[in-house]
Amino acid sequence: MHKISLLIRSAFVLVMILAGGSGVAQEERLSVDWLFSDEGKMSLAMPRHTWLESGQLVLYDMRKPEAERGLMSVDLRTGRRKALTNRKRALAAMNEVFQADEPLEEPGWPAAFSANGKWALYEREDDVYLLNLDRAEIVIVAATPAEEGAARFSPDSEWLAFVRDNDIYIFNIEDGSEKRLTHDGSETLLNGNVSWVYWEELLHRSNRGYLWAPDSSAIAFLQSDESMVGIMKYVDFKPGLPDVKRQRHPKAGAANPRVRAGVVGIKNAKTTWADLGTYPHEYLANMQWLPDSQRLAVQTLNRSQTVLDVFLVDAGSGEATHLLRERDDAWVDVHDDLWFLADGERFLWRSERDGHAHLYLFDMQGELIRQVTSGEWALKESGGSAHTDRAVAYVSNNIVWFTALEKDSTERHLYRINLDGSDRQRLTQADGTHAVYFHPAGDAYLDHYSALSTPPAMTLHRADGEKMRTLVEADASVKDRFELQPWELFSVKARDGFEMPAMLLKPRYFDPEKQYPAVVYVYAGPSAPTVQNAWQRRARGMFHQMLADEGVVVFQVDNRSAAGKSKRDAKTILRQLYGPVELQDLLDGVAWLKSQPWIDGDRVGVWGWSGGGTMTLSAMTGSEEFAAGIAVAAVTDWHYYDTIYTERYMKRPQDNEAGYESTSLVKKADQLSGNLFLVHGTYDDNVHPQNAWAFSDALIDAGILFDMMIYPMRKHGISDDEAQAHLYRSMQAFWARELDLEN
C-alpha cells in the first residue's frame, strides 16, 4: 500500500510540473516567435536540389543547422550521400575572398553548376565567383566597382558569361581571361539584362536576358531600350538627407521598353539582329535555341496580348520565317512549352485554343499534325523547372511526360502519353500535389510531393513511375508536436451552379453546438488558385493554424477565374480585373460559410496579400459581409500598375476607360464597411506604395478611421524575418481585437 501511494504521489507531482501547477498537462502551440526562429525555419524547410548534366543529383539540406550544411552528391543506386566538395576548406576560402561583415557559417546554395560538375557559381553583392569543387578553392570572375551578375555557364563548361553594367562579357574558366561581347550598354540600354516589367511579367521573375547556344558557339540576347519608360522613385529614411531609389517602370497605358533579339558570336564578338520583317509587335515575349544551334525561336506579342507569333530566326543572317500564330479574343498566355523534337521535323506547342491548356504537334512548317492531349482539364506547370511556366517535363522517343490537373483542379500529377495521343497514363498515384524534376537522360525523375494531410517528401522514380527510393521522408514532427488541425477539402456552388474549390480549417476541440468567428483568406488572381491539396507549410499556412488555435475557422474559396479549370472561366474577368465576377463568387462562398450553424456571421473577417489585398478591399467596399479585413500590398487602382500584367486583362486605360473607373477601389473607399488594417512596404517595386497612399487619402477624405502599418524600405514580400514576424504579430493582435477572440 505504501509503495502504491508513493507511486501515485510521484505521478501527481510529475503531472503538476508538466502542467505548470494547473493539474493538466499544457499543450504546446505554434507561435510567431517559434515560426521565425532557427528551429522553426529549419523544421519547415526542404533540401535544395538539382540534377547536374552528368546525371549526378546534388542536395543541400536546409533542415540541418548552418554549421552542418554542405553540398552533397547522392548515389542513385544506393541513396548514399557524400560531400561534393570539402566543406571546411570551401568555407575558409569564401570567408577569405568575400570578406563579409560576419564570417559565413555555411557555403550556401550556388546559383548554378557547370555541366561537367567541376564548378559551382556564386554571386554576392554584384560580384561573380566560382568554387572549384575538386580543390575547394574560390576563383574571382568579376569583382569590380561595377554591377556584375546574371552569370551562366556555357554548355561545354569552358566559359562563364556575365553582365557588367549592362554589357555581356565572357570569362574563360581555364585561363582566367575575359572578353567583352557587347559595347553599347548604358543606364537605359540593357544588353543581357532585362527590364523590371519583363522580369516580373514575362520571364517569371528571372533575369533570362540571354541564352547560350547548345554548342557554346554564340549567345542569343535581348537588348532593351528603356529611355522612354517612366521612372518610379522610392525615398529611403537614411542617411540624414535620405537616398532616393529610382527604377524604370511602365504604368498601364504608358510607354514600354523597346526590345530586340540579337545573336553574338563567341569568337568574333559580332552581333546579328533578328529581322522580324513587317510583323507588328509590342513585346518580345520569349526566345530559345533550336537543338541545331543554327536557329532561334522568337515569340512576340501585340500590345493587347491577343496575338502571339513564333518565328524561326537564322542565327547567322538574322533572317526570320514565320512559324506559328496563336490568337485569343481575350489574351494569350505566354509559356515555355515549345519543344523542338530530336528528329528535327516536328515540335510540340501548348495552346488554349479549345478552352483548356493542351499539347499540339506541328511540323516544321507550322502545320498542325494532331492534338496530343484533350479533355475538360488543363496542363499545368508543376514547379519542376524554376522560373518557367513549363508543364512538359520531358520528351523522348515519341513519348511526352507532363503535369496536369486532369484528376482534380486542386491537385497536380505527372502523366505520360504517346505523341499520337494514345496510351495516356497517370504516373503519380498519391492524392496531392507533385512537382517533378526529370533526370537529364530522361530515365528517372524526382517527385517533390505533399498533400494537405501529408508534409513534403522527396522520392526517386523510374520514368515509368516505379518508385526507386525515398530520398527525403515526410517529416511529421511539426504536425505531431503542435497537433496541427486537418484541412477539409470540398467545393461550394456559386449561384449559377459553378463548383468552386474550397478548404476549411476548424478550431481545436471543435464543437458544432458553438458559434465561431471566421477569417477568409483570398487571392483571386487569374488562374492562380489558393485551394490546393498541398501541405500548407509557408508562414501563411502556419499563421492560419495559429488562428485555429485561437478558436477561429479559416476558410478559402477559389472564384472561377482563379481556379484554373479552364480558359473560358478565366476570361470572365476580361476588362474588369478584380471586379464584379470575382466578388460575386467570393460572396457566394461566404454565404455558404455564414449558413453553417457553427459560424458567427457577425464575426467574419477577410485578408489577403498583393492581389489578395486587392480582393480584400474589393470585398469590403463592395459588400457589408465582413467585420474587418487586412489588405497587404494591395493594388487600389489599375492606373498604378504595370503595362504587361494590367493590360493583359484590362487592356489600355485609353481603350477601357469604363473598366478602369468601375474597378478603382480608391473611388469606392467611402463605401468601406468593416474595420481595415492597411499594410505596405515603402520600397515595394511591384505594387507601388502610391496604391496605399491613394486609398488611405480617400479614406481620410471620407472621414473613415483605419489602422495602417508601413514597413520602411521593404519590398513586396516584406520578406526579412524581423519584418515578417512583426507583421504576423500585428495581424494576430488585429484579429484578436476585431473578432473578439477573448470570447
Among the residues of 447-565, which ranges form H helices? Answer: 477-481, 539-549
The H-or-E segment that residue 515 falls in is none
- Name the grid cell of 672: 468601406
Q: Is 195 a catalytic residue?
A: no
Among residues 204, 358, 413, 716, which one is catalytic?
716
Beta-carbon-side half-sphere exposure of residue 495 (alpha carbons within 13 Å) = 10
| 670 given a catalytic annotation | no
User: How many CA atoms lie less than 13 Å away from 721 in the CB half-sphere?
Assistant: 9
pLDDT at 26: 59
* pLDDT given at position 589: 98
Q: What are phi and psi of 434, to 5 degrees?
A: -120, 125
Q: Report the predicted TM-score, pTM, of the whole model to 2 decimal places.
A: 0.94
Which pLDDT value is given to residue 4? 38
Catalytic site residue from 610, 618, 664, 696: 610
Q: Which residue has the cell 458553438?
A: 514
- Structural contact between residues 139 and 132, judged by C-beta atoms closer than 8 angstroms: yes
pLDDT given at position 5: 39
**Nine-digit cell at 451?**
498533400
Give the burial string for 335-344 (b: 16+ CB within 10 Å, else e).
Answer: bbbbbbbeee
Please state, in angstroms and rounded to a whole number, the distance separating the CA atoms of residues 625 and 604: 8
CA–CA distance, 213 with 262 (Å, rounded to integer): 12
Give the residue ranges of the chain where pLDDT is below 50. 1-25
Is 401 strand, coil or helix?
strand
570, 533, 569, 541: which is closest to 412 by C-alpha? 533
Residue 129 burial class via C-beta count within 10 angstroms: exposed 0-12, middle 13-18, buried 19 and up: buried
Q: Which of 216, 382, 684, 688 is catalytic?
A: 684
Residue 610 annotated to the active site: yes
Please give the pLDDT value at position 386.
Answer: 78
Q: What is the pLDDT of residues 334-377, one digit of tens each?
A: 999 999 999 999 999 999 999 999 999 999 999 999 999 999 99
- Residue appearing with cell numbers 505521478: 11
Output DSSP code: residue 512.
T
pLDDT digits (tens, 9 = 90+) for 259-309: 999 999 999 999 999 999 989 999 999 999 999 999 999 999 999 999 999
- Strands 516-521 and 599-609, by their bridges, are parallel
Output the pLDDT for position 397: 83
653-656, long-range: CB < 8 A, 24+ apart: 653/252, 653/253, 654/253, 655/304, 656/575
pLDDT attached to residue 11: 39
